[in-house]
């Protein structure tokens, strides 16, 4: 929320209201027209004051850069530049795991070996406070929370759509932020990581795997494979 813009908009609305009253009292319809026009400007300013501000996306970009640089060198050393990425749900946190084995069972945060192959597990907490509704399907809840996180909170994209198809969840992300678009080609992609972290919290599955990631002219399509729904973690 941009407080300065909000105050400016509200002040403009008040001034326009006073002008409307004055215009009506003196019977000057032209003045009423100007005042109503001013009121619309005030309304537009108030609405635009609610759009996300740059600091969120700047902070996310800065954090992504640090994470990508640090993690990519670790992945290079582990020969995991084309890894299988998945989110494994634990009792209180989610582990984002890079490994050659899809959905490894026993992993701990950090670097390690499982089934003879190396892995890198990054512990993450749910990025936002989830708004859940028991009457809604999980996919709808996921879409709503992704919109809140990626569009409203970070302004990292223009829109998000989620569809469930044949046991897979497809996430369509359009209008990517220019500053984050460069990371889509990298092994550590903030979009994929945020989607996996949130999907893991909402879908309640033991493991959510990034099956496919396609770049489109306008955005990104992520295909998630959900495994072990309802299993205890």
Which residues are at the interface with another protein (CB under 8 A)? 5, 29-34, 36-38, 40-41, 43-45, 47-48, 50-54, 57, 147, 151-152, 155-158, 175, 177-178
User: Could you tell me the smallest distance in angstroms from the CB atom of residue 152 to another protein?
Assistant: 6
User: Could you tell me the smallest distance in angstroms from the CB atom of residue 182 to another protein?
Assistant: 15
User: Could you tell me the smallest distance in angstroms from the CB atom of residue 113 to another protein?
Assistant: 42
Q: Which residue's CB is nearer to another protein, number 1 or number 91? A: 1
Q: Which residue's CB is nearer to another protein, number 33 or number 137? A: 33
Q: Which residue's CB is nearer to another protein, number 50 or number 115? A: 50
The DSSP result for 76-116, as a single string, is HHTT-SS-EEEEEE-SS-EEEEEESSSS-SS--SEEEEETT
Q: Which residue's CB is nearer to another protein, number 19 or number 85? A: 19
Other residues' Cβ atoms within 10 Å of the Cβ of residue 94: 24
| Crossing angle for the helix pair 3-26 and 29-48, to the nearest 10 degrees | 170
Q: For the chain, state the CA radius of gyration.
A: 23
Angle at 147 between CA 158 and CA 206, to 5 degrees: 130
Sign of the four-CA dihedral 215, 194, 72, 70: positive
User: Could you tell me the smallest distance in angstroms from the CB atom of residue 147 to another protein?
Assistant: 8
């Amino acid at each position: 929320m941009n407080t300065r813009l909000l105050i400016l908009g509200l002040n403009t609305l008040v001034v326009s209201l006073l002008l409307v009253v004055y215009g009506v009292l003196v019977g000057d319809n032209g003045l009423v027209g100007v005042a109503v026009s001013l009121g619309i400007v005030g309304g537009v300013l108030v609405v635009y004051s609610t759009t996300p501000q740059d600091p969120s996306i700047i902070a996310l970009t800065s954090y992504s850069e640090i994470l990508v640089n640090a993690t990519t060198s670790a992945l290079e050393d582990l020969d995991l530049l084309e890894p299988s990425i998945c989110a494994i749900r634990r009792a209180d946190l989610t582990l984002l795991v890079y490994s050659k084995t899809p959905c490894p069972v026993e992993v701990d945060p950090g670097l390690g070996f499982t089934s003879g192959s190396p892995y890198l597990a990054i512990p993450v907490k749910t990025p936002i406070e989830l708004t859940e509704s028991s009457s809604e399907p999980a996919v709808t809840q996921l879409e709503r929370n992704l919109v809140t996180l990626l569009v409203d909170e970070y302004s990292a994209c223009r829109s998000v759509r989620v569809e469930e198809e044949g046991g897979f969840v497809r996430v369509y992300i359009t209008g990517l932020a220019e500053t984050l678009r460069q990371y889509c080609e990298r092994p550590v992609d903030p979009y994929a990581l945020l989607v996996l972290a949130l999907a893991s919290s909402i879908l309640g599955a033991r493991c959510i795997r990034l099956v496919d990631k396609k770049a489109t002219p306008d955005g990104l399509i992520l295909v998630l494979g959900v495994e072990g729904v309802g299993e205890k973690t």
